[in-house]
């Protein structure tokens, strides 16, 4: 949930003056929503406690791979009369945010998958006491941008 709110706030800041704010926010949420909603549906049907199956990492790697998104952008480019809508680039915000905020122990972001397993040991805002401070800063930035 924290990740979704962060991505919404960041994309609001980046796209607030555009005509496609809603599209940018919704498109940026695709990796998070698809990945974790598939996991939640799986666990609803599971008789065990909430668990992360082996295939979850494959789905997450696919949805957070820069190479997969290049293919998606290429498809959008071809089927959209050789034009890529600016709002579709908002998904890059999600990937960059995850690279920076997920560490090796907490859903590392394999952004170069399938060609590399390289991950960065990002700052873990999810299991750290400083995460509230980061959210206060994001909220202040949002308010400043909203007031302007």
Per-residue pLDDT of the chain (148 residues; tens, 9 = 90+): 567 788 888 888 888 888 999 999 999 999 988 888 888 888 887 666 777 888 888 999 999 999 999 999 999 999 988 888 888 889 998 899 888 888 888 788 999 999 999 998 887 766 666 666 776 777 777 777 666 6
pLDDT at position 131: 67
**Residues 6+ away with beta carbon under 8 Å from 142:** 9, 12, 13
d(CA 60, CA 45): 20
Question: Is there a contact between 134 and 125 (Cβ–Cβ < 8 Å)?
Answer: yes
Count other C-beta atoms under 10 Å from residue 125's C-beta: 21
Residue 111 burial (10 A CB sphere; 0-12, 13-18, 19+)? buried
pLDDT at position 62: 94
pTM: 0.78
């Amino acid at each position: 949930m924290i990740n979704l709110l962060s991505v919404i706030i960041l994309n609001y800041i980046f796209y607030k003056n555009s005509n496609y704010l809603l599209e940018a926010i919704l498109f940026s949420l695709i990796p998070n929503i698809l990945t974790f909603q598939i996991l939640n549906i799986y666990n609803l049907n599971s008789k065990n406690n909430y668990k992360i199956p082996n295939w979850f990492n494959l789905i997450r790697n696919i949805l957070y791979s820069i190479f997969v998104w290049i293919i998606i952008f290429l498809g959008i480019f071809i089927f959209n009369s050789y034009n890529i809508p600016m709002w579709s680039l908002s998904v890059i915000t999600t990937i960059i945010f995850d690279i920076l905020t997920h560490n090796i122990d907490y859903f590392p972001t394999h952004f170069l998958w399938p060609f590399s397993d390289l991950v960065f040991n990002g700052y873990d805002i999810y299991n750290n006491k400083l995460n509230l401070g980061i959210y206060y800063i994001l909220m202040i930035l949002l308010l400043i941008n909203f007031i302007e």
